[in-house]
Structure 1
Amino acid sequence: MPTRVASVLTGLTLALCGTALAAPAAHADVSACINQVERELRGGEAPEYVRTACSGALSGNHDQCVSGLTKGGVTNGTAVSACRVALN
């Protein structure tokens, strides 16, 4: 019985650690997208539309991300590369 409990606890620990390790990767992609746009804006924190567009890129909708950024005034070249970074 103690061996079975130890096995279950080990499995749960590994599953939770795997989830915790995977979560920051997605966040890092959005951050990289936002940082790229902030470099073009030169200063200050990115407006909410930048965060929304970059977050939307994670769902795989590159065109929507680019459209959201360019509508806010980000150049097309920066928008395309920032959204590409978010997808990686």
Structure 2
Amino acid sequence: MRTSSRVAGVLGVLTGLSLALGGVSLAAPAVHAAPADVSACINQVERELKGGEAPASVRASCFIAVTGAQDECVSGLTEGAGVTKGTAEAACKLGAE
């Protein structure tokens, strides 16, 4: 194998590694922020449940809110968890912030 081919291969690997690590560092703040938003959404629903713990369907819908899919979040909370529409809309809005 030629030296130039080896150098090009090594540079390619290093470039890919740099991009991968850079992507992780850019994604880290968003991942760090998500649990607080999900928690705010879940807490809003739990207030309506008057102390009851939110079921898995509520947690799933609140995770959807973080992605920005408000309609899916609201329908998941109202249809899947039996939450009132007003509470669902407020919770999903909190989850998206």
Asked if these proteins are the same fold (TM beyond 0.5), I'd say: yes
Count of equivalent residues = 73
1:54-69 alignment runs, 5 A limit: 54-69=62-77
- Residue 84 of structure 1 aligns with which residue? 93
Alignment partner of 1:34 out of 42, 56, 72? 42
Q: What residue ranges of structure 2 are gaps of 5+ in the alignment?
A: 1-20
- Residue 52 of structure 2 aligns with which residue? 44
In structure 2, relative to structure 1, the CA distance for the partners of 1:60 and 1:22 (3 Å cut) is closer
Superposed CA offset, 1:15-68 (max 9, x none): 86x93x543311100000000000000112100110000001111100000000
Q: What residue ranges of structure 1 are gaps of 5+ in the alignment?
A: 1-11
What TM-score does the superposition give when structure 2 sets the normalisation length? 0.68
Q: Say which one has the larger Rg.
A: 2
Per the alignment, in what secondary structure is the counterpart of residue 85 of structure 1?
A: helix
Structure 1 runs, 4 residues or longer, greater than 6 Å off:
none
What TM-score does the superposition give when structure 1 sets the normalisation length? 0.74
CA RMSD of aligned residues (A): 1.8
Which amino acid counterpart does residue 83 of structure 1 have in structure 2? Answer: C
